[in-house]
Amino acid sequence: MSRKQKRLAVIVGALGVLALAVALVLVAFSQDIRYFRTPSDLTTQDITSDARFRLGGLVEKGTVVRGAGTQVQFAVTDTIRSVKVVYDGILPDLFREEQGVVTEGRFGPDGTFVADSVLAKHDENYMPKDVADSLKEKGVWQGN
């Protein structure tokens, strides 16, 4: 094997390894994408599919109901439409009505969103950027 052929073999091998690495990264990212929706953005397909995604909006006033143990039911709204959410776990300390929230999970067979994680605001002025942008776009939130 000549020097030129060895160099070409090393370059081709390196490109092959690089292509494999890029392919693995793309596969990993595509499997972990979580789509963000507000209640009025939901479609029938979102509700009937078993896809996981993030549901965000405001915790609707008067809807927080604490059940046995750590089970909590509440509604997430963008003031246009509301979605009932069920969560079994410990809520963040700053979780409360009329504040921004992002839940992650999927819809159950009865049309209730079953969340496995709940993210709440961090301070008095915080609202998740995606939620704030979506609510501002619909003209229902005038925060910063």
User: Rg of the Cα trace of the chain?
Assistant: 22
Q: How many helices (H) and strands (E) does the chain have?
A: 3, 7
Distance, CA of 34 to CA of 82 (rounded, Å): 20
23 is in an annotated binding site: no
In sequence order, what E strands does the chain have? 35-37, 53-59, 65-66, 71-77, 82-88, 100-107, 113-120
Is 55 annotated as a binding-site member?
no
> Cβ(113)–Cβ(55) under 8 Å?
yes
Binding-site residue positions? 122, 126
Binding-site residue positions for heme? 122, 126
